Structure 1
């Protein structure tokens, strides 16, 4: 392509309008369609100091006249990376809708949140439309409808991974920017512990669901009960608020946690613990294994294992729900396989750990976990292991006996009865409707 002459260009900077045209021109022959207005139209945020082009973060700088510019070489590099991407339009990943899927934990996902952008725009069609990191995702979207069920949306797997990489890159860039700002400013003084306690007491006293007496520790009052039945009983919210969280034992309980595979109530827990134990789903059958799993499977493992085994079904089978077992397999079972790199504190694990699976726990012969590392310098998406469900379950039972022997002793089919005759299937068909885990 013939280089476009930009009058008044200095130090390799070009204006955003010129960069838009350059981006579209350089990527015109690539496999991934790009959008005009990649640097000037929502969700681009040039005034925040950066824009996303593909999986690359491009810094923006102020130029004369209050305008913004970018380095031409960075735009060209981003275009080269995008053009090198191979794309199989038949290898699709479902991106929505997932009814009842949890929001990602605060601080664990970049502001791009491309899945939310896709869902919001498809729910309200007819608007101006938005690009994602300079990519025209609408031209790649596939809509599928089966037997009159609500349509589902699919994108090529390579494009999904590219957008994941864009979120990851932006999150790193923003963390670095916040670190620089913190180093040059003094944070405001936090309120005293006494003042925070007084505010918390004031909120509790005005809540209609709070009991008049202090909450008390939870025993086994709700063990073996089905959540579908118990949650419909009148006054259950007030009863739950009368207990302390069964995990941290410090905060008042606010919700009734239950096993989504077997339907049994586990225990009343606080909102913080309820959020922490949820698997961090990327897709319906894909979990990102973030740093918070250190508490679930390492520092506070005994407490969490005891909590999960309050479910009659999990305790009888001496296993975890499918997404939790998948996360354990990646985080603990395949720990020795994860690559590492040199860091300020010695060797540190690199990349972002994730695990996906096919099939369900109801068909263990065909259920398979695939553990991968994304954003690894040795390979963008490096497969660490493929572990059959039965092998993962056996490894977990052996680890449970060493980590929490009291929990392991109380488990097993010979110690329990009243198991569900037909447990709820989990991700039996990823294209089905209403199969979201949470």
Structure 2
């Protein structure tokens, strides 16, 4: 304490050790030399007396540590802090309903701004002040003196910030923290607050003016839901054009890749009739070893070799289609998860790509089937036309050579 100046800490020590007998008279237990010095100061200094508004009821009282004296305790200067009877008295002030006073003391439960650990009521009050702050940021105008939030939709909507100590039981501190988290971040900060403002207007429009703020206190969870849903819709709309552009680009790339699986073997397909039917017509019917038999062996071996190559190519392209299908599935899952609100706009594109993959798989399976049938037909034709033992002829021919 410097000179004759009174501090809030000095007053707080007196308030905490006082037992009020009525609105102003209290029994004060002098638990420290600091309290004794403060009482002496208010008795000797007009400035200290007017700032503290504290006076001894007995001028001859002994100001010693451990003694109990009767004092009159009035309201201190507002620049020091607030001394109120109970929570309702604190909340009677419009300013105290808009922001927490920097210094206050409540006589009924001896709660003050530095109470540790904070009481349940103090926690709920601070959560309510946090809610008021968030709503004030979203409002078109926040009147601190009249404790009123003003919104504008189709018409002017006012939300008087009115609540009592009993109403503090309605606030859920965890939900207020969730709402604060839903609004935090610099990205799209204005849009988030605008979404909150729309949610507030929608919720309070059907409520009487006096009960609007209390209704919001009871429905913070609904505010959170509307803010989150509204922001997801905004983010989806914001990203729609970008997603569409990227999807159209990737769609054309997928179409080209899927088409390539067929075009890569298209040239080989032209040889399929030759390898199956046409070559069979070139076979002779030799009865002994000779050029006709060797020609038949060469034809059937070439046809089988071609069919094997074509089947291998088809299997390779089938694996490529599997990879493309897996990528498409991943893209669809990401779209459904991150942009569920607009996923239906792109479902047709993914379905078309899946259909194209399915079609090419059917074509590949058909080609493999035709190759097997063609090779089988060629072998069958060889068996029917060739009566000589080709292996013996080839061995003997090699030995003779």
The reply to whether TM is greater than 0.5 is no
Relative to its length, the structure with more helix (as a share) is 2
With the length of structure 1 as denominator, give the TM-score of the two structures.
0.22
With the length of structure 2 as denominator, give the TM-score of the two structures.
0.23
Higher Cα Rg, which structure: 2
Identify the structure with bigger relative contact order (alpha carbons < 8 Å, sequence gap 6+). 1
Relative to its length, the structure with more strand (as a share) is 1
